[in-house]
Amino acid sequence: RLDLMPELISALQMHNIIISLSYLHSVNIVHGDLCGRNILISEEGCTCLTDFGLAVFVELETSIKISTCDGSTWWMALELLHSNIYSPGMSFHCTIKSNVWVFVCVCCEVRLGL
């Protein structure tokens, strides 16, 4: 599997990450700190999400605001970062939508090999 073209390897990794993230969202869990360092990749190319310390279980009705988000700033959704900069000391909230933003950041990271 590792002898595949780099584009295909990164596409498979991104696919595995989104499958994992989709599962979490289907059971109303927001990871809270998805970033490159929290994704393990085996020698066979299988991915595994790790570090669920900031993950939260949410009810569908409350998925807009769920938990204070203290995740990695570089991967933080813009609305969360904006809230933190312009409202210091105020809590801001991770959502399923912000997890999707982070997934896109991770895709860029995987594709660029960072």
Containing domain of residue 84, as a range? 6-112
Q: Could you tell me what percent of the chain has a pLDDT over 70?
A: 63
Asked, for residue 102, whether it belongs to a domain, the answer is yes
Asked, for residue 74, whether it belongs to a domain, the answer is yes
Asked, for residue 1, whether it belongs to a domain, the answer is no
How many distinct structural domains can be found in the chain?
1
Q: Per-residue confidence at 1, pLDDT binned at 50, 70, 90? A: very low
> What values do phi and psi take at 53, rounded to 5?
-60, -30
Tell me which of 3, 33, 51, 70 is the catalytic residue. Answer: 33
8 Å CB contact between 58 and 28: yes
Asked, for residue 69, whether it belongs to a domain, the answer is yes
To the nearest whole number, what is the mean pLDDT of the chain?
A: 73
Asked, for residue 76, whether it belongs to a domain, the answer is yes
Cβ-Cβ contacts under 8 Å for 78 (sequence gap 6 or more):
101
Asked, for residue 15, whether it belongs to a domain, the answer is yes
pLDDT in tens, 39-85: 998 888 788 999 998 888 877 544 444 444 555 555 555 555 555 44
pLDDT at residue number 71: 54
Active site residue 51: no
Q: How far apart are CA 46 and CA 33, in angstroms?
A: 20
**Number of C-beta neighbours around residue 69 at 10 A:** 23
Asked, for residue 25, whether it belongs to a domain, the answer is yes
Asked, for residue 94, whether it belongs to a domain, the answer is yes
Closest residue by Cα to residue 44 from 14, 21, 12, 17: 12
- CATH code for position 21: 1.10.510.10
pTM: 0.67
